[in-house]
Amino acid sequence: MAIDIHWIRDNDSLGRLCAEWQQLPFVALDTEFMRVDTFYPIAGLLQVGDGERAYLIDPLTIDNWQPLAALLENPAVVKVVHACSEDLEVLLRLTGSLPAPLFDTQLAAAYLNLGFSMGYSRLVQEVLGIELPKGETRSDWLQRPLSETQISYAAEDAVHLAEVFVRLRPKLSDDKYAWVLEDGAELVANLRREIDPYEVYRDAKLAWKLSRAQLAVLRELCAWREKEARARDLPRNRIVREHSLWPLARTQPDNLGALAKIEDMHPRTVRQDGEFLLDLIKRSGSVSPDQWPPAVPEPLPVDAAALLKQLKAIGQAEAERLNIAPELMLRKKTLEALLKSGFPNGPYQLPDSLRGWRRELMGQALLDSLATAGEQP
Task: Please give the Cα distance from 345 to 330 (Å, whole number).
Answer: 22
* Annotated catalytic residue, options 89, 156, 157, 336: 157
Q: Pick the closest to residue 65 from 27, 97, 87, 88 (CA basis).
A: 97
Position 113: which residue type?
Answer: N
User: Residue-wise over 221-259: b if at least 16 C-beta within 10 A, else e?
Assistant: bbbbbbebbeeeeeebebbbbeebbbbbbebbbeeeeeb
CB 367 within 8 A of CB 354: no
User: Does the active-site annotation cover 32?
Assistant: yes
55, 111, 120, 153: which is the annotated catalytic residue?
153
Catalytic-residue membership of 126: no
Examine the residue annotation and report whether 30 is marked as an active-site residue of this protein.
yes
Distance CA 55, CA 48 (A): 5
Query: Cα separation of 54 and 47, whole Å?
Result: 7
Nearest by Cα to 239 from 256, 221, 213, 215: 221
Distant-in-sequence, close-in-space partners of 82: CB < 8 Å, separation ≥ 6: 30, 104, 105, 106, 120, 123, 161, 164
CB atoms within 10 A of CB 88: 23
Strands 54-57 and 5-8: parallel
Residue 185 sits at φ, ψ, to 5 deg, of -65, -35
Pairing of strands 42-49, 54-57: antiparallel
Report the half-sphere exposure of 53 (CA within 13 A, side-chain side). Answer: 10
At 31, is the secondary structure helix, strand, or coil?
strand
**DSSP character at residue 178:** H
- Phi first, then psi: give them for residue 216, nearest 5 degrees: -60, -35
Known catalytic residues are 30, 32, 87, 153, 157
